[in-house]
């Protein structure tokens, strides 16, 4: 009975996994068809050619080369922009939100609870309301179409402050009380004691911020105008409108190129994601 | 209070950021919404509540709100049900569950643009992945008809999901179940693992069936998680943007013109920034109400954490 | 670490910023998208490099914004942001929105002060598209009337005579019916208003009132309904054109792939025809010598068409005005235009280049159609984007049969007028 149940579970899970993975497999296969090839039917989705009457596997990896270097778009620049912006954002978020969380949990000062309430409330302001004023504020700072516009508005996050606060509260208070009695400065306690203990939570924040920044579309779309300031996500969105929508192998190759880095990070850091989501739900 | 200056210092960067990029913008948006603020035009006259009146009487706005509501009403419950089902499966004490959890999470971390392009392809009539699967199914049905001398009708393969107004919004909803599965599954898994096992053991001793256990123990114990997932998913559903921008641009016949996209177009394609601000406030009323419900609910759970 | 981070940030934001880097950067907006390595892409790249070689220390950055409706939106956004490109390729069909919002530089003083440049080298009606009184906002590069392309081999195989001037909708439909067979459509229809508006004109209707301020009584007029009905019949009744979903399912250009006998498009389509994919026999699916060009069919005696033009304009606040003007002169020069238009993109707005190219029979036909071509509405009406969006929505409903032509067009007209009243 138990065995049957397990077997059934595996079957169901495999079917679901196939459902989730099939689009990606399909995408990879289509990206290897020759440029401008008609849309293959399911029997022909594996790119093949005939050689002496035999079907042989015939992948067109040159599509990737075309997308990266011969598309007329500075794809390597898109990639560099994305890496730079993401790296800066992750560092700043880690620094600012952990400092805030330290202040909110370890230090006493007037209005602390009010501050926390404000962070908490701001998580409820939804994107559509903020997009216009934030754009105009960034414009009046003269930052549009620069790295400042891409980095600074994302440099802190109420969600991450909240997440880290939840974690910091669970770190025993006698650790820093002891250090304080020994005369350690607050910065030293924060930097040398609390941060090392909070590593898993920080990794979670880093992983989240990385994915959110790397895959952000709306803000970079609005905040940048020149081609050389575009991020990968926005830059490659033009592939959809290119080729009159008629060159699927090339579009799929571009799609794979956007997806691979972020998937790699996810697979590397997946356990932190899981932890982060659970922390975020205050479990 | 000796330490108070240190507290403010530690809080300063994040608080300043919060002020400039969240609190100030809310006030600014409120200010903009009472002007005829067309960014391209030099004069921006004060018009009082006219933008709000225009918004409330605009059938295109309400059409967009209704589209978003329909999208949320379908994608959220279905997404929750699927995620809960998957979570129950992957929290079993079996080998290899970590692998499945990873696979199920992948769509959620993939780029929205890439996912959208991919799903345009999946939804293509006749030649897309779904149409191909229907074709395979049809081949099976035809064979069954032949063998069993029955006449089941074949399924259509030429549905243009993204260009047919009967399908387009549901196609987007279906896709969002796929992309949203990961985080929801993880949340439910966490909730499930938090249910004390003795409860189940006791129930099993009483001879309860699996379904009874699920109904009597799992669901009630999971209520907080469900509530959290429900609310975040609903707010997320009302903010849908990238797939619409990439896949349908609100077509066909405005059937996928959801509110997030509508406001974007009003502001950045027609440059009616004042009107768009008013629209976003009208949108925010129900969303803020939902969020407040969450806040009240969460605060009750948070009290357990309050500091000495 | 915080200090190090700050230092690194400063360094990064200051120096790595791709906008600076010692060179003068000339940003040129076009509506091109990601390319493949076709002849056209290579030619454009080569011309750009040539200009850079002539002007040391200058880098030309072409910034493509592809996609219907995207170009105007994104460029206006960049003007709002104050980060617009130096040179804007000005499409006749959206000239008004840029001119009326006063974001372009008046080029007349530059022309007057430059003895090397002669405006008389260009076709006058093409120049006039961007002229407002004594002010001129763009120098025309190239243009194209919308034409009917046909596949001569398919006509020969079906024994259908080639289309000729004076043919009517009925002649066209009959030809399309005879040219339709399994695996081949008589006509390739796309729901692209800049292309299908000509059917309404050739039925004697129009989408806006003569001064361009309202759609009611025009877009929803009986003549426009008849034209829309005709297009629906092509797709849904006679089935001589693929349905919208059939086109999508193919995922390729049906005319360029030798699966449709006729297509309405502009000169730029020739680039695709020249690059027609190869069939299993290794030969192109569409041979360029099989491509014929004909006037559009008309029910009002005299065929009319629309002329889309690409001009070069300079942003009002451009910081490198001289350089930008130099670039425009380079791009509109005789030699550069000869090479550029040899790719098949369009008809040159310079009379000398066009005359030289008229040796080709197809090019002659394009030139012959110039007098019948109207400037697009978007050259005059600022909010024309709205009209195209509403029009395409209506056409989608009509073609798929979800609404009658009368209902769909009336609804579109209402939507357009409401939007016009908001401005």
User: Percentage helix, strand, coil, to 5, in chain C?
Assistant: 50, 15, 35
Whether A243 has its CB under 8 Å from any CB of chain C: the answer is: yes
Do residues A91 and A150 share a domain?
Answer: yes
| Same-domain check for residues C199 and C238 | yes
Put simply, whether C9 touches B (Cβ < 8 Å) is no
Do residues C223 and C204 touch, judged by C-beta distance below 8 A? Answer: yes
Residues in chain C: 423
Which residues touch C185 (CB under 8 Å, ≥6 apart)?
C179, C240, C241, C242, C254, C259, C260, C261
User: At C71, is the secondary structure helix, strand, or coil?
Assistant: helix
With CB atoms and an 8 Å threshold, state whether C248 touches B125: yes
Minimal-distance CA residue of chain A relative to B124: A39
Are A56 and A76 part of one and the same domain?
Answer: no
- Res A191: pLDDT: 93
Give the closest residue to B180 by CA, choosing from B69, B74, B63.
B74
The alpha carbon of residue A32 is apart from the nearest alpha carbon of chain B, in Å, by 14
Looking at residue A204, its pLDDT comes to 85
Residue C10 lies in a domain: no
**For residue C20, is pLDDT > 70?**
no
Please report, in angstroms and rounded to a whole number, the separation of the first and last CA atoms in chain C: 53
The three-class DSSP label of residue A46 is: coil
Q: How far is CA B271 from CA B39, B129, B265, B274, in A?
A: 6, 38, 8, 9
Sign of CA dihedral A176, A177, A181, A187: positive
Give bridge partners of residue B35 from the DSSP assignment. Answer: B46
A206 shares a domain with A182: yes
Other beta carbons less than 10 A from residue A12's beta carbon: 13
Same-domain status, A165 and A51? no
pLDDT for residue A277: 64
CA-based nearest residue in chain C for residue A84: C12
Residue B139's nearest CA partner among A45, A42, A12 is A42
Tally of domains in chain A:
2
Greatest mean pLDDT range, A66-70, C151-155, C367-371: C151-155
Evaluate if residue C36 carries a pLDDT over 70: no
Model pLDDT, residue C298: 96
Predicted confidence at residue B33, as pLDDT, reads 93
Residue C9, domain member (yes or no):
no
C-beta separation of C294 from C147 below 8 A: yes
* Residue C350 DSSP code: B
Q: What angle do CA C206, C211, C217 make, to 5 degrees?
A: 45
The answer to whether C277 contacts A72, with C-beta atoms less than 8 Å apart, is no
Of A36, A228, A254, the CB nearest to C61: A228
DSSP tag of B154:
P
Q: Please indicate, yes or no, whether residues C69 and C139 belong to a single structural domain of this protein.
A: yes
Q: Whole-angstrom Cα distance, residue A98 to residue A91? A: 11
Query: HSE of C62 in the Cβ direction (CA atoms, 13 Å)?
Result: 23
Residues of A in contact with B3 (CB under 8 A): 107-109, 186
- What are the tokens at A51? 């050689």
Same domain, A158 and A88: yes
How is domain B31-112+166-301 classified at the CATH fold level? MetI-like fold (1.10.3720)
**How confident is residue C33, by pLDDT bands cut at 50, 70 and 90?**
confident
Q: A60, A84, A109: which is the final residue of a domain? A: A60
Q: What is the rounded distance in angstroms from the CA atom of residue C371 to the CA atom of residue B87?
A: 69
Report pLDDT for C11: 40
Chain A nearest-CA distance from B271, in A, is: 10
Q: For chain A, say whether C61 makes contact (Cβ under 8 Å).
A: yes
Pick the residue from chain A with its C-alpha nearest to B180.
A20
Residues A115 and A241 in one domain: yes
* Chain C residues within an 8 Å CB radius of B272: 422
The verdict on a CB contact (< 8 Å) between A262 and B109 is: yes
CB contact under 8 A, A215 and B183: no
CB distance from C38 to chain B under 8 Å? Answer: no
B289 in reach of chain A (CB within 8 A): no
**Mapping DSSP to helix (H, G, I), strand (E, B) and coil, where does residue B159 land?**
coil
How far away is chain C from the Cα of A62, in angstroms, using its nearest Cα?
11
Query: Same domain for A100 and A36?
Result: no
Q: Which two tokens stand for residue B149?
A: 């001398």
Q: How far does CA C195 lie from the centroid of its chain?
A: 9
Helix (H) or strand (E) holding B24: helix B24-32
Residue B248 near residue B241 (C-beta atoms within 8 A): no
pLDDT attached to residue B48: 87
Distances (CA, A) of C152 to B54, C179, C182, C263, C346: 55, 11, 18, 12, 21
Q: Which residues pair with C122 in a beta bridge?
A: C350
Cα within 13 Å of Cα(B109), Cβ side: 25
Predicted confidence at residue B55, as pLDDT, reads: 92
CA dist A10 and A134 (Å) reads: 48
**Which one of B5, B11, B115, B119 makes the best mutation probe of the A interface by having the most chain A beta carbons within 10 Å?**
B11
Provide, as residue numbers in chain A, all residues whose Cβ is less than 8 Å from the Cβ of B23. Answer: 118, 122
Q: Indicate the helix (H) or strand (E) that contains C24.
A: strand C24-30
Q: What domain range includes position A261?
A: 67-280
Residue whose tokens read 């929505």: C393
The answer on A77 and A21 residing in a single domain is no
A158 and A237 share a domain?
Answer: yes
Residue linked to tokens 């929105």: C97
A-C contacts (CB, under 8 Å)? 118
Six token digits for residue B221: 């114990």
Nearest alpha carbon to residue B29 among B274, B307, B287: B274
Min CA distance, A19 vs chain B (Å)? 9
pLDDT at C103: 92
| Residue A155 touches chain C, beta carbons under 8 Å | no
pLDDT number for residue B307: 33
Phi, psi of C257 (to 5 degrees): -95, 10
Q: In this complex, do B118 and A23 lie within 8 Å of one another by their Cβ atoms?
A: yes
CA A97 – CA A160 distance, rounded (Å)? 6
Contact yes or no for A20/A27 (Cβ under 8 A):
no
SS (H, E, C) C230-289: HHHHHHHHCCCCCCHHHHHHHCCCCCCCCCECEEEECCCHHHHHHCCCECCCCCECCCHH
- Give the one of C73, C80, C249 whose C-beta lies nearest to B126's C-beta: C249
In the prediction, which pLDDT does A276 show?
67
Residues in chain A with pLDDT < 70?
A: 1, 126, 243-246, 276-283
Query: First vs last Cα of chain B: how many Å apart?
Result: 17
Residues in a beta bridge with A50: A55
| Cβ <8 Å between B268 and C77 | yes
A137 vs B28, B113, B117: nearest CB: B28
A250 and A185 in a common domain: yes
The DSSP code for B44 is: -
**Could you write out the DSSP letters of every residue in B221-258?**
HTHHHHHHHHHHHHHHHHT--HHIIIIITT-STTTT--
| Its pTM surpasses 0.95 | no
Angle, in degrees to the nearest 10, between helices A158-169 and A112-122: 130
Q: Where are the domains of chain B?
A: 31-112+166-301
Give me the pLDDT at residue C26, please.
92
Note whether C254 and C264 are same-domain residues: yes
Q: What is the dihedral of CA C400, C295, C273, C176, to 10 degrees?
A: 50
C66 interaction partners in chain B (CB closer than 8 Å): none
Q: What is the pLDDT of residue A281?
A: 57
Residue B236: which residues within 8 A CB-CB, separation 6 or more?
B180
Closest to C104 in 3D by CA, of C324, C306, C384? C324
Q: Is residue C223 part of a domain?
A: yes
The residue segments making up the domain with residue C373 are 19-145+308-377
Instruction: Check residue A242 and report its DSSP letter.
Output: G
CATH number, residue C259: 3.40.190.10
- Per-residue confidence band for C134, with pLDDT thresholds at 50, 70 and 90: very high
| Domain tally, chain C | 2
Closest approach of C13 to chain A, Cα-based (Å):
6
Token representation of residue A229: 């300031």
Rounded to an integer, what distance in angstroms lies between the CA atom of residue A37 and that of residue A51? 19
- Rounded mean pLDDT, C163-184: 94
Q: Which helix (H) or strand (E) holds C132?
A: strand C131-132
Maximum average pLDDT range among B92-101, C45-54, C245-254: C45-54
Give me the pLDDT at residue A126, please.
Answer: 67
Cis peptide bond prior to B252, omega within 30° of 0: yes
What is the average pLDDT across C214-242? 95
Contact residues, chain A, for C16 at CB < 8 Å: 84, 147
Candidates A133, A266, A282; nearest CB to B32:
A133
| Residue ranges for chain B with pLDDT beneath 70 | 1-3, 298-308
Average pLDDT, chain C: 88
Asked whether the beta carbons of A275 and A204 are under 8 A apart, the reply is: yes
Instruction: Report residue C272's pLDDT band, with 50, 70 and 90 as the boundaries.
Output: confident
The domain boundary, picked from A42, A60, A78, lies at A60
Cα C344 from Cα A77, distance rounded (Å): 30
User: Is residue C196 situated within a structural domain?
Assistant: yes
CA distance C61 to C63: 6
Say whether residue B52 is in contact with chain A using an 8 A CB cutoff.
no
In terms of domains, do C185 and C283 share one? yes
**B139 in contact with A, Cβ within 8 Å:** no
The neighbours of chain A, by the rule of 3 or more Cβ pairs under 8 Å, are B, C
Co-location of C137 and C164 in the same domain: no
- Cα B228 from Cα B157, distance rounded (Å): 39
Whether residue B76 contacts residue B237, with contact meaning beta carbons closer than 8 Å, is answered with yes
User: How far is the alpha carbon of A13 from chain C, nearest alpha carbon, in Å?
Assistant: 31
Q: Please tell me the predicted confidence (pLDDT) of residue B304.
A: 40
**Which of A226, A228, A229, A244 would you mutate first to test chain C, the one with the most C CBs within 10 A?**
A226
pLDDT band at C14 (very low <50, low <70, confident <90, very high): very low
* One domain, residues A91 and A37: no
What is the value of ipTM here, to two decimals? 0.87
In a domain, C2, yes or no: no
| CB C266, CB C347: distance < 8 Å | no
A141 & A276 share domain: yes
Cβ contacts of B97 within 8 Å, gap of 6 or more: B90, B91
Q: Which residues of C touch A35 (CB under 8 A)?
A: 36
Name chain C contacts of B271, Cβ cutoff 8 Å. 76, 80
Residues in B closer than 8 angstroms to A6, CB to CB, are: 92, 94
C316 and C293 both lie in a single domain: no
Q: What's the rounded Cα separation, in Å, for the pair B153 and B151?
A: 6
């Amino acid at each position: 009975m138990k065995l049957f149940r397990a077997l059934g579970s595996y079957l169901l899970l495999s079917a679901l996994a196939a459902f989730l993975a099939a689009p990606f497999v399909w995408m990879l296969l289509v990206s290897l068809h020759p440029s401008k090839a008609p849309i293959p039917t399911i029997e022909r989705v594996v790119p093949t050619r005939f050689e002496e009457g035999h079907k042989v596997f015939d992948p067109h990896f040159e599509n990737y080369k075309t997308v990266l270097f011969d598309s007329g778009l500075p794809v390597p620049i898109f990639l560099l922009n994305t890496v730079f912006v993401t790296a800066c954002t992750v560092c700043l978020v880690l620094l600012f939100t952990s400092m805030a969380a330290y202040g909110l949990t370890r230090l006493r000062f007037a209005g602390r609870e009010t501050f926390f309430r404000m962070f908490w409330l701001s998580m409820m302001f939804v994107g559509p309301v903020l997009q216009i004023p934030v754009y105009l504020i960034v414009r009046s700072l003269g930052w549009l179409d620069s790295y400042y516009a891409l980095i600074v508005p994302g440099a802190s996050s109420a969600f991450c402050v909240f997440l880290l606060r939840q974690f910091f509260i669970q770190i025993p208070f006698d650790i820093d009380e002891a250090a304080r009695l020994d005369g350690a400065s607050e910065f030293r306690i924060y930097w040398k004691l609390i941060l090392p203990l909070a590593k898993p939570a920080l990794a979670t924040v880093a992983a989240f911020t990385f994915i959110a920044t790397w895959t952000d579309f709306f803000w970079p779309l609005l905040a940048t105008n020149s081609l050389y300031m575009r991020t990968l996500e926005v830059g490659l969105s033009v592939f959809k409108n290119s080729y009159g929508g008629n060159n699927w192998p090339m579009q799929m190759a571009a799609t794979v190129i956007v997806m691979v880095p972020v998937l790699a990070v996810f697979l590397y850091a997946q356990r932190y994601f899981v932890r982060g989501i659970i922390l975020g739900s205050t479990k | 209070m000796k330490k108070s200056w240190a507290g403010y210092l530690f809080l300063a960067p994040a608080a300043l950021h919060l002020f400039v990029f969240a609190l100030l913008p809310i006030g600014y948006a409120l200010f903009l919404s009472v002007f005829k603020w067309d960014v391209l035009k030099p004069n921006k006259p004060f018009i009082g509540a006219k933008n709000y009146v225009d918004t409330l009487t605009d059938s295109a706005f309400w059409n967009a709100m209704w589209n978003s509501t329909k999208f949320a009403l379908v994608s959220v419950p279905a997404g929750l049900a699927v995620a809960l089902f998957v979570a129950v499966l992957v929290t079993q004490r079996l080998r290899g569950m970590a692998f499945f959890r990873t696979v199920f999470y992948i769509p959620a971390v993939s780029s929205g643009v890439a996912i959208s392009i991919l799903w345009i392809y999946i939804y293509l009539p006749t030649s897309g992945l779904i149409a191909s699967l229907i074709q395979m199914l049809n081949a099976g049905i035809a064979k069954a008809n032949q063998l069993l001398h029955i006449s089941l009708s074949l399924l259509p393969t030429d549905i243009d999901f993204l260009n047919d107004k009967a399908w387009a919004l549901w196609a987007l909803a279906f896709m969002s179940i796929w992309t949203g599965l990961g985080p929801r599954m993880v949340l439910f898994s966490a909730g499930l693992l938090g249910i004390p096992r003795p409860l189940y053991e006791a129930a099993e001793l009483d001879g309860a069936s699996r379904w009874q256990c699920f109904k009597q123990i799992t669901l009630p114990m999971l209520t907080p998680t469900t509530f959290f997932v429900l609310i975040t998913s609903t707010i997320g559903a009302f903010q849908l943007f990238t797939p619409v921008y990439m896949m349908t641009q609100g077509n066909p016949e405005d059937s996928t013109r959801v509110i997030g996209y509508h406001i974007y177009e009003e502001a950045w394609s027609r440059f009616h920034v004042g009107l768009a601000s008013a629209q976003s406030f009208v949108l925010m009323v129900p969303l803020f109400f939902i969020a407040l419900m969450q806040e009240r609910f969460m605060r009750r759970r948070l009290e357990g954490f309050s500091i000495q | 670490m915080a200090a190090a981070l700050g230092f690194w940030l400063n360094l990064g934001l200051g120096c790595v910023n791709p906008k600076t880097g010692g060179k003068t950067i000339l940003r040129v907006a076009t509506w091109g998208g990601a390319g493949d390595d076709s002849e056209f892409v290579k030619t454009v790249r080569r011309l750009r490099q040539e200009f850079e070689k002539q002007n040391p220390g200058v880098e030309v950055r072409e910034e493509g914004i592809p996609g219907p409706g995207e170009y105007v939106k994104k460029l206006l956004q960049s003007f709002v942001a104050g980060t617009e490109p130096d040179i804007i390729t000005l499409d006749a069909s959206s000239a008004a929105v840029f001119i009326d919002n006063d974001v372009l530089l008046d080029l007349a003083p530059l022309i007057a002060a430059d003895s090397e440049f002669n405006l008389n080298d260009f076709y006058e009606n093409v120049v006039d598209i961007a002229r407002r009184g004594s002010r001129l906002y763009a120098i025309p590069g190239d243009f194209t009337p919308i034409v009917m392309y046909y596949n001569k081999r398919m006509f020969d195989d079906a024994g259908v005579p080639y289309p000729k001037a004076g043919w009517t909708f009925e002649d066209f439909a009959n030809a399309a019916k005879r040219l339709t067979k399994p695996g081949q459509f008589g006509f390739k229809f796309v729901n692209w208003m800049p292309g299908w508006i000509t059917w309404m004109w050739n039925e004697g209707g129009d989408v806006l009132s003569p001064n361009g301020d309202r759609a009611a009584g025009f877009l929803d007029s009986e003549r426009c309904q008849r034209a829309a009905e005709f297009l629906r019949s092509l797709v849904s009744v006679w089935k001589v054109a693929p349905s919208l979903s059939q086109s999508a399912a193919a995922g390729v250009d049906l005319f360029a792939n030798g699966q449709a006998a006729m297509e309405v498009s502009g000169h730029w389509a020739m680039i695709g025809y020249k690059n027609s994919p190869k069939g299993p026999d290794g030969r192109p699916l569409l041979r360029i010598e099989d491509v014929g060009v004909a006037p559009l069919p008309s029910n009002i005696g005299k065929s009319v068409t629309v002329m889309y033009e690409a001009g070069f304009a300079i942003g009002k606040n451009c910081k490198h005005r001289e350089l930008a003007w130099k670039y425009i002169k380079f791009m509109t020069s005789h030699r550069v235009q000869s090479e550029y238009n040899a790719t098949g993109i369009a008809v040159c707005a310079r009379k000398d280049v066009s005359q030289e190219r008229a040796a080709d029979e197809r090019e002659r036909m394009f030139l012959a159609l110039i007098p019948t071509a109207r400037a697009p509405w978007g050259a005059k009406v600022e909010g024309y984007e709205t009209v195209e969006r509403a029009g395409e929505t209506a056409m989608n409903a009509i073609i798929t049969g979800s609404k009658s032509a009368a209902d769909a067009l009336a609804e579109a007209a209402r939507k357009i007028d409401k939007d016009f009243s908001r401005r």
